[in-house]
Amino acid sequence: MVDVALIFPGQGAQTVGMGKELYDSSPEAKVIFDKGQSVLGNDLLDVIFNGPEDKLKLTSYCQPAIVSFSCAALAALKAHPKFSSLNVRFTAGLSLGEYSALIASGAFSFEDAISLVEKRGSAMDEACKAQKGSMAAIIGFDKEKLKELCAQAGVEVANFNSPVQIVISGEEEKVVKACEMITAAGAKSVIPLTVAGAFHSSLMQSAADKFKQALNGAAISDLAIPVVGNVDAAPQSSADVVRDNLYKQITSSVLWEDSIKFMASQGVTTFIEIGPGKVLKGLARKIDSSLKVYNIATPADIEGLFL
């Protein structure tokens, strides 16, 4: 048995056509995709497989699409004989990806999770429209110095993704000011992000409060496999902690670097990124170059999984 952690990507990893090979070749994956569309009652599958890209980028499609694809890929992996050689110690997901991780760990059913994701996206959309915000990725800059400059500019840190990539978030004009300050202080690169609002910041508080009603009514179970949470980079196993952390996650920083470091400290050196893209693989390499990271997005990826 090989000790592994399953990790799941978040919003931004989507591409038109993702998952089509799995849908056509894996009955288990097809079931998941079909359930997602059935729960939402829209044209989700057509948008995932055929676009247009602008429609897939919409939060109302993008978030359920990524969770659907990630869970479909996981279902296909679980159906393969290779899965029996894996000892899944932890799961984790970047922002939205935490929902896929929680499904994998048994916190809630796929159907309930997709419904929650839809409500989360709707609440976030409303918050974005109510208060204009933006985000920027900072490459190659000291973490503690960045925190100081963010405080001076009145913005917040949204994601601690890796030692060399941190994302800031806040009111649009304040993010511009912060970027100017950080650039002047010697950051290697400052990249404005094309996003709808200031995610993982206090500007999302109204979204968190609205979403809390949905969380309070959701059926959440204690976890079969610990999920390393975004909010505190610590393993969570109880339903009450999951519920509380999903509420906090909307406004809190995503502690992704610390999450990967925690799992590695527990002896997990092999990670399987399940879903679209290879963003998490790239981040893991920056966090700890000794880690092994495999990607599962196609049938060939499953067949080629070498552990």
Active site residues per annotation: 95, 200
- Give the burial string for 75-93 (b: 16+ CB within 10 Å, else e): bbbeeeeeeeebebbbbbb
Q: Is 3:225 a contact under the CB 8 Å cutoff?
A: no
Distance CA 171, CA 154 (A): 8
Q: Which long-range contacts (CB under 8 A, 24 or more apart) does 27-33 make?
A: 27/79, 28/72, 28/75, 28/76, 28/78, 28/79, 29/72, 29/73, 29/75, 29/76, 30/72, 31/75, 32/68, 32/71, 32/72, 32/75, 32/110, 33/68, 33/69, 33/72
Closest CA to 300 of 11, 76, 64, 55: 76
Q: Is 138:147 a contact under the CB 8 Å cutoff?
A: no
Q: Is 72:32 a contact under the CB 8 Å cutoff?
A: yes
